[in-house]
Structure 1
Amino acid sequence: MSSVPQPQPRTQPQPWDVHRLPRAEGRSFLVTGGNAGIGYFVAEQLAGTGATVVLGSRDATKAEAALASIRSHVPGARVRHLRLDLADLASLKTSVDALGLDRLDAVVHNAGVALDDPPRRETGDGHELMFATNHLGHFVLTGRLAPLLLATPGSRIVTTGSFAAKTERLDLDDLQSTHDYRPKRTYGRSKLAQMLFGFELDRRLRAAGSTTRSVVVHPGGALDSLTPSRPPVSERTTGERLRGLPLGLLVQGKEAGAWPAVRAVLDPDVRGGQMWGPRVFGLRGRPRAEPLWDHLADTATAARLWAACHDLTGVDPASEA
Structure 2
Amino acid sequence: MSSASSTPSWDVHRLPRAEGRVFLVTGGNAGIGYFVAEQLSATGATVVLGSRSPAKAEAAMGSIRARVAGARVRAVRMDLADLSSLQSAVASLDVARLDAVVHNAGVALDDPPREETADGHEIMFGTNHLGHFALTRWLMPLLSAAPAARVVTMGSFAAKSERLDLDDLQSRKEYRPKRTYGRSKLAQMYFGVELDRRLRAADSTVASVVAHPGGALDSLTPSRPPVHVRTTGARLGAAPAALLVQGKDAGAWPAVRAVLDPAVRGGQLWGPRVFGLRGEPRNEPVWEHLADPSVAARLWDASCELTRVPGQFPTAGNT
Whether TM exceeds 0.5 here: the answer is: yes
Which residue does 2:249 correspond to in 1?
A: 255
Q: Report the Cα distance in structure 2 between the residues aligned to 1:273 and 1:94, rounded to whole angstroms.
A: 29
Deviation of 1:14 (Å): 5.1
Determine the structure 1 residue equivalent to 2:145.
151
2:184 maps to: 190
- DSSP 3-state at the match of 1:91: helix
User: In 2, distance between residues paired with 1:216 and 1:14?
Assistant: 19
Task: Report what 1:202 is aligned to.
Answer: 196
Deviation at 1:135, TM superposition (A): 0.3
Matched, 1:275 2:269: yes
Q: In the alignment, which residue of structure 2 is the partner of 1:92?
A: 86
| Match of residue 53, structure 2, among 56, 59, 76 | 59
CA–CA distance in structure 1, aligned partners of residues 275 and 8 of structure 2: 23
Alpha carbons 1:199, 1:215 under 8 Å: kept: yes
User: Percent identity among equivalent residues?
Assistant: 74
Q: 2:63 aligns to what? A: 69
Q: CA deviation at 1:114?
A: 2.6
Question: Are residues 1:293 and 2:287 paired?
Answer: yes
1:115, CA displacement in angstroms?
Answer: 4.7
- Offset of 1:13 from its aligned partner? 7.5
5 Å matches for 1:14-25?
A: 15-25=9-19
CA distance, structure 1, for counterparts of residue 28 and residue 231 of structure 2: 23
1:218 corresponds in structure 2 to 212
Q: Does 1:161 align with 2:127?
A: no
Instruction: Using the TM superposition, give the Cα deviation of residue 118 of structure 1 relative to its aligned residue in structure 2, in angstroms.
Output: 4.2
Letter in 2 for 1:305: L
> 1:223, 1:251 within 8 Å by CA — same for their partners in 2?
yes
Report the counterpart of residue 125 of structure 2 in structure 1. 131
Tell me the distance in 1 between the aligned counterparts of 2:9 and 2:190.
29
Measured on the aligned residues, the alpha-carbon RMSD in Å equals 1.1
* SS of residue in 2 equivalent to 1:148: helix
Residue pair 1:195, 1:216 contacting (<8 A) in 2 also: yes
Q: Secondary structure at the match of 1:219?
A: coil
Contact 1:146 1:317 in 2 (8 A): no
Which TM-score applies when normalising by structure 2? 0.95
Structure-1-length-normalised TM-score: 0.95
Give the counterpart letter for 1:90 in structure 2: S
Which ranges of structure 2 fall in alignment gaps of 5 or more residues? 1-5
Q: Which segment is superposed worse, 114-123 or 55-64?
A: 114-123
2:113 equivalent to 1:114: no
Match of 1:237 among 225, 231, 238: 231
Structure 1 unaligned regions, length at least 5:
1-11
1:78 is aligned, of 65, 72, 77, to: 72
TM-aligned CA distance change 1:262 to 1:64, over 3 Å: same
For residues 116 and 158 of structure 1, the distance between their equivalents in structure 2, rounded to whole angstroms, comes to 26
